């Protein structure tokens, strides 16, 4: 898909998906009831589904992935939004006590046909959008221009560099050492475009900072070009860090450590955190009370252990846990296998992760999330923050009760730099690739398989 078509269609994709889902609901009605008179609550449900699709699908990130218009990967990207949509409709029907008014067969049919309808318009349009590769003329023959051309030749199926033109001030480079044909100097650009021999669709400008071209000369040349001109800045640093371009009060800024958790989709994560933590506390209240009593009975001291740890943005929060060590033990030192500080009940609580349950209160308070990098003691952060360059980036987001690292086996004691490096890599991956679907996946794996592991002690 060409970038221009991709952006243009992305604006209309929520409307197309909403229409596909509404049409699927109407078709499901016809297949279920035939020519029978339509009861009024069915059109109301379809209208509500149409409006919710326009809001929930974009919020759930259905159009953020590169191949969102593909009939398979596009549906996978839209899966969290679809789940939210139908869950929301069921919730509305339950709250209004109208679930009995709808045919179960119709509801199942609507869901299945809706998925098929969303896949169909993607199947029809995706091949069309992937036609028509763009022919590019690269202004520049320096390191930046050559590396950009090689990147396109390796990674792009839809953009082709037809040739390169040398900018004033650049060192002469033999034509046979360039990754694309040398079309001449900057002065040769206009004749090249007029001839039409290369079918150039757009111009890319990639000057090296060491061979800066005079601004007045460059501006004059660009103003004389009627084709689109794209500037390729030398942002080597941005290839290392995940970045995002923002506009604040007319000032263009580049955020060097961007995460989707700062975007509008994060609202859904907060809603899920508050809803599920409140529900879990309500359901687990008897167990929490029982565990608190058992902790108090086994050894002197409070039932809860409260420790200062880093929260989102690096601020200090107070994290709750059931006390698993004897009163007076040094809590800042990591627990080790067969640690004498840990009580018998505490050992069970730590192995089963039941000691973490009070952190549901942290989630409800807004200090933590259900899913995120696990919060470490301050002493541990100080130690590894000096040894690992990107360590403090894990505090860009709220810490979680469970996380991507934990379900992949990295929990418990981190007594070596290598162990912490591995955990950090999983945490950074989660932050940079967050989606609501990833959170659901982590919660499901935690609920089904737990995250006790060999290091749970």
Task: Report CA Rg, the chain.
Answer: 29
Q: Could you tell me if residue 174 is inside a domain? A: yes
Task: Report how far residue 307's alpha carbon sits from residue 277's, in angstroms, rounded to the nearest whole number.
Answer: 20
DSSP 368: -
Residues 43 and 79 in one domain: yes
Task: Please identify, among 72, 105, 129, the residue that sits at the C-terminal boundary of a domain.
Answer: 129
User: Can you read off the two tokens belonging to residue 407?
Assistant: 């379900």
Task: Report how far residue 164's alpha carbon sits from residue 218's, in angstroms, rounded to the nearest whole number.
Answer: 16
Average pLDDT, integer, range 412-430: 82
| Inter-axis angle of helices 41-59 and 3-33, nearest 10 | 150
Task: Report how far residue 205's alpha carbon sits from residue 139's, in angstroms, rounded to the nearest whole number.
Answer: 5
Q: Could you tell me if residue 115 is inside a domain? A: yes
Q: What is the number of structural domains in the chain?
A: 3
Residues 190 and 114 in one domain: no
Residues 73 and 140 in one domain: no
Band (pLDDT 50/70/90 cuts) for residue 289 is very high
What is the residue-averaged pLDDT of the chain? 81
DSSP 415: -
- The reported pTM is 0.56
Residues 281 and 384 in one domain: yes
Residue 185: φ, ψ to 5°: -95, 175
Residue 252: φ, ψ to 5°: -80, 125
Residues 272 and 375 in one domain: yes
- Quickly count: other Cβ atoms within 10 Å of residue 226's Cβ: 7
pLDDT score at 3:
44
Helices (H), ranges, 241-353 = 266-298, 344-352
Spatial contact of 232 and 142, defined as CB atoms under 8 Å apart: no
CATH number (domain holding residue 216): 3.40.50.620
Band (pLDDT 50/70/90 cuts) for residue 244 is low
Q: Could you tell me if residue 256 is inside a domain? A: no
Residues 275 and 175 in one domain: no
Task: Report how far residue 272's alpha carbon sits from residue 268's, in angstroms, rounded to the nearest whole number.
Answer: 6
Whole-Å CA distances, 132 to 2, 96, 129, 156, 183: 8, 51, 8, 13, 23
Task: Report how far residue 81's alpha carbon sits from residue 60's, in angstroms, rounded to the nearest whole number.
Answer: 5
Residues 22 and 112 in one domain: yes
Task: Please identify, among 234, 249, 278, the residue that sits at the C-terminal boundary of a domain.
Answer: 234
- Which of 110-119, 156-165, 347-356, 401-410 is most confident? 110-119
pLDDT score at 315:
81
Q: Could you tell me if residue 250 is inside a domain? A: no
Spatial contact of 211 and 246, defined as CB atoms under 8 Å apart: no
Q: Could you tell me if residue 257 is inside a domain? A: no
Average pLDDT, integer, range 113-137: 77
What are 340-359's pLDDT values in tens digits? Answer: 788 888 888 888 888 899 99
Task: Please identify, among 97, 129, 161, the residue that sits at the C-terminal boundary of a domain.
Answer: 129
What are 47-65's pLDDT values in tens digits? Answer: 999 999 988 888 877 877 6
DSSP 321: E
Task: Report how far residue 403's alpha carbon sits from residue 137's, in angstroms, rounded to the nearest whole number.
Answer: 46
pLDDT of residue 212 exceeding 60: no
Band (pLDDT 50/70/90 cuts) for residue 182 is very high
Residues 53 and 93 in one domain: yes
Residues 145 and 119 in one domain: no
Q: Could you tell me if residue 302 is inside a domain? A: yes
Structural domain of 207: 134-234
Closest CA to 394 of 312, 281, 278, 450: 312
Q: Could you tell me if residue 18 is inside a domain? A: yes
DSSP 100: G
DSSP 3-state of 141: coil
Residues 92 and 205 in one domain: no
User: Can you read off the two tokens belonging to residue 293?
Assistant: 């009593």
pLDDT score at 246:
61
Whole-Å CA distances, 455 to 78, 321, 338, 352, 408: 36, 18, 11, 11, 12
Residues 437 and 294 in one domain: yes
Share of the chain above pLDDT 90, in %: 19
What are 383-400's pLDDT values in tens digits? Answer: 888 888 778 878 888 999
Q: Could you tell me if residue 31 is inside a domain? A: yes
Residues 207 and 287 in one domain: no
Beta strands in 61-101 (DSSP E): none
């Amino acid at each position: 898909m060409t970038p221009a078509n991709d952006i243009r269609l992305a604006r209309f994709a929520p409307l197309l998906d909403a229409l596909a889902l509404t049409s699927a609901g109407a078709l499901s009605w016809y297949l279920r009831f035939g020519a029978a008179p339509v009861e009024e609550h069915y059109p109301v449900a379809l209208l509500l589904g149409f409006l919710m699709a326009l809001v929930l699908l974009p919020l759930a990130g259905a159009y953020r992935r590169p191949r969102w218009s593909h009939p398979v990967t596009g549906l996978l990207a839209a899966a969290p939004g679809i789940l939210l949509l139908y869950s929301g409709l069921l919730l509305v029907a339950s709250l209004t006590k109208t679930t009995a008014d709808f045919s179960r067969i119709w509801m199942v049919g609507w869901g299945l046909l809706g998925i098929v309808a969303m896949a169909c318009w993607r199947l029809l349009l995706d091949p069309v959008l992937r036609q028509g590769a763009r022919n590019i003329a690269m202004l520049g023959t320096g390191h930046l221009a050559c590396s950009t051309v090689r990147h396109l030749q390796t990674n792009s199926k839809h953009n082709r560099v037809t040739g390169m033109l040398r900018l004033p001030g650049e060192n002469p480079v033999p034509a046979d050492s360039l990754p694309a044909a040398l079309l001449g100097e900057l002065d040769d650009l206009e004749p090249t475009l007029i001839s039409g021999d290369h079918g150039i669709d757009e111009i890319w400008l990639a000057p090296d900072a060491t061979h800066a071209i005079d601004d007045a000369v460059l501006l004059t040349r660009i103003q004389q070009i009627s084709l689109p001109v794209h500037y390729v800045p030398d942002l080597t640093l941005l290839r290392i860090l995940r970045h995002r371009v923002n506009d604040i009060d007319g000032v263009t800024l580049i955020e060097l450590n961007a995460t989707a958790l700062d975007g509008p989709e994060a609202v859904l994560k907060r809603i899920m955190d508050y809803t599920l933590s409140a529900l879990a506390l309500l359901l687990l209240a008897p167990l929490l009370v029982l565990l608190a009593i058992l902790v108090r009975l086994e050894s002197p001291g409070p039932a809860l252990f409260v420790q200062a740890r880093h929260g989102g943005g690096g601020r200090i929060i107070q994290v709750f846990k059931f006390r698993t060590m004897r009163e007076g033990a040094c809590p800042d030192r990591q627990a080790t296998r067969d640690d004498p500080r840990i009580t018998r009940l505490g050992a069970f609580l730590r192995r089963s992760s039941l000691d973490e349950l009070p952190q549901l209160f942290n989630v409800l308070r807004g200090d933590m999330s259900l899913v995120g990098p696990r919060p470490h003691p301050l002493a541990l952060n100080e130690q590894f923050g000096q040894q690992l360059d990107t360590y403090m980036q894990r505090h860009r987001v709220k810490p979680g009760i469970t996380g991507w690292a934990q379900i992949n086996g990295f929990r418990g004691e981190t007594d070596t730099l290598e162990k912490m490096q591995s955990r950090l890599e999983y945490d950074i991956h989660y932050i940079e690739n967050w989606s609501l679907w990833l959170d659901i996946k982590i919660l499901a794996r935690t609920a089904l398989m737990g995250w006790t592991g060999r290091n749970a002690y």
